Amino acid sequence: MSLTPTAKTEVLRRPWSLAMILTSYYSLSAFLIVLLTVLCLQWSMTSKLNRKSDQSLVDRGRLLQTLIQELKSDISSLLNVIGRPPDVDLLPQYLIRVTDAAERTIAETPGMALSAPTQQFPPPSEFTAPEVRDIKSANRVLRLFAANVETGNSDQGVWRVQIALDRTQEEEVLRQYHANSRLALVLAFVACLGVGYWIAQRGMRPLRDVSFAAESIQVSNLNQRLETEGMPLEIQQMAQTFNQMLSRLERSFARLSQFSADIAHELRTPVNNLRGELDVVLDRKRSPDEYAETIGSALEECDRLTRLIESLLFLARAEHPETQIERSSCQLGRELHTIRDFFFDQAEEAGITILVEADESLETELNRPLFQRAIGNLVMNAITHTPDGGTIILRGLRQGQTALIEVQDTGCGIPEAHLPHLFERFYRVDPSRSQISGGVGLGLAIVKGVVELHSGAIHVISTPNVGTCFQLTIPAFSPVLTS
């Protein structure tokens, strides 16, 4: 939803798709968990098997020690214990050799000299801390262990037992297990990628729905809204924001098209008058006076059109945020007196008194023509709506750094329902009446535009049958330097 132009993003780097990022995060983390689990299982299995082998070696060693001590060097019994190969085909699980202190063999399992010669054994170690060594010999994996054994016989001294454990089966199990683990890991990786992608796609679907809906919105169907029900919370919020934006756009567009319709309507009346008058006068020969009369009337319609166009142009400019006006220091009181003088006679003919109550020392930075236009519009309105014997008061007061300008009348007032719309373009409190009084409903919109161009604000207080007071607050000094 970025507002930067897309061209710029393309020049930089193609952004990552959110689905891709999510997929890779999901897959990677899931795969890491699988990997850790597998490694952990492998480690525990290997170490368990190792411990078991070591333990059986130690057990066998202890058994031998007991035998040696009990049999008191009865070699033949010992040989029975060590055993012969039960079968030629079947290899024994343990190979045992007993040597004396000088490493001369006293007894050994047949065939052991070949598969596990004496020199390959690790140095003798304690049963409590066995030192073992793995060797490979003729397709077999042997774990070797040696220990010194007290014979309990002084002339025989210390013997040594060497035990080899056949671990081929365990190694095979482990090897198989490793191979299976690797395969499982590869499968898990693929599965993680797939599931991650699926999750991401699924998570993004509402987002895609929103974007799809947004794509389909045109000026002609601005009344459409996104269906937020059933959406995930986060997306719901976004969709609601989007809907609010649509509502605002819809309102603005409605206002704009209403505005265009109003303009067209307002243009139609004077143009129609022009056409009609000129058509009729050309219908037959007429006296010069009649021609002059008609042309004069046509000119009046032209003036009306000109004023309408100027008002519309002014409003368009006032609305533009970058429009700046020139302001110069004016004595507010004197300006109000000027306006009073101008309207005095007309007000007097309507039986209305205009008064000025102003802080004569108050200097305010104003654009004079615009200010006169704004206050003039308000005074004209006041004269139109104030009955015989009424009063209009123009006030100019200081309020800290701002000037408060009031136009108060003792007129018929404005019903409360109209107050919020009063400053809208072409808004008329009484449509039928304003046509007679000549206004087109732009006067107050212009007043507001002027006040806003002066960085000020306008308020209206009105009580039906008591009167209306327009209050304008304008910063006495413009915040920026005038051009």
Partner 1 sequence: MHILVVEDEPKTAAYLVKGLREQGYVVDVAHRGHDGLQKAKSLPFDLILLDIMLPQMDGWSVLSALRRTDSQTPVLFLTARDSIEDRVRGLELGADDYLVKPFAFSELLARIRTVLRRGPARHPEVIQIADLEIDLPRNRVSREGRRLDLTQKEFQLLSLLARRSGEVLSRTVIAEEVWDMNFDSDTNVVDVHIRRLRAKVDTPFPIKLIQTVRGRGYVLDADR
Residues that bind partner 1 (CB under 8 A): 292-293, 295-300, 302-307, 309-310, 313, 338-339, 341-343, 345-346, 349, 368-369, 372-373, 376-377, 380, 438-439
Question: What are the angstrom distances between the C-alpha of 450 and each of 234, 306, 316, 327, 368?
Answer: 43, 19, 12, 12, 11
- Minimum Å gap between C-beta 336 and partner 1 is 12
Tell me how far the alpha carbon of residue 24 is from its chain's centroid: 21
Q: Which is nearer to partner 1, 376 or 413 (CB)?
A: 376
Q: Which is nearer to partner 1, 340 or 398 (CB)?
A: 340
CB atoms within 10 A of CB 259: 15
- Supply the angle between the helices 332-349 and 368-385 in degrees, to the nearest 10: 30
| E strand map for 228-371 | 328-331, 353-358, 363-366
Q: Which is nearer to partner 1, 19 or 358 (CB)?
A: 358
- Minimum Å gap between C-beta 443 and partner 1 is 8
Q: Which is nearer to partner 1, 313 or 466 (CB)?
A: 313
- Minimum Å gap between C-beta 295 and partner 1 is 7
Q: Which is nearer to partner 1, 225 or 286 (CB)?
A: 286
- Supply the angle between the helices 233-282 and 168-215 in degrees, to the nearest 10: 20
Q: Which is nearer to partner 1, 8 or 320 (CB)?
A: 320
What single-letter DSSP state applies at residue 316?
H
- Minimum Å gap between C-beta 345 and partner 1 is 5
Cα(160)–Cα(286) distance, rounded to whole angstroms?
150
Q: Which is nearer to partner 1, 162 or 434 (CB)?
A: 434
Q: Which is nearer to partner 1, 61 or 270 (CB)?
A: 270
Tell me which residue has tokens 């004077």: 270
Q: Which is nearer to partner 1, 165 or 375 (CB)?
A: 375
- Minimum Å gap between C-beta 294 and partner 1 is 9
Concatenating the DSSP letter of every residue in 420-442 gives GGTTSTT--SSHHHHHHHT--S-
- Minimum Å gap between C-beta 362 and partner 1 is 19
Q: Are 293 and 424 in contact (CB under 8 A)?
A: no
- Minimum Å gap between C-beta 346 and partner 1 is 5
Tell me which residue has tokens 């006032």: 318
- Residue 72's region, left for phi above 0, alpha for psi from -120 to 50, else beta, is left
Cα end-to-end span (Å), the chain:
38
What single-letter DSSP state applies at residue 393?
E
Q: Are 414 and 473 in contact (CB under 8 A)?
A: no
- Minimum Å gap between C-beta 321 and partner 1 is 15
Residue 466: phi and psi, rounded to 5, are -115, -50
Q: Which is nearer to partner 1, 29 or 306 (CB)?
A: 306
- Minimum Å gap between C-beta 470 and partner 1 is 17
What single-letter DSSP state applies at residue 413?
-
- Minimum Å gap between C-beta 368 and partner 1 is 7
Tell me which residue has tokens 């304690």: 126
Cα maximum dimension of the chain: 166
- Supply the angle between the helices 443-453 and 288-319 in degrees, to the nearest 10: 40
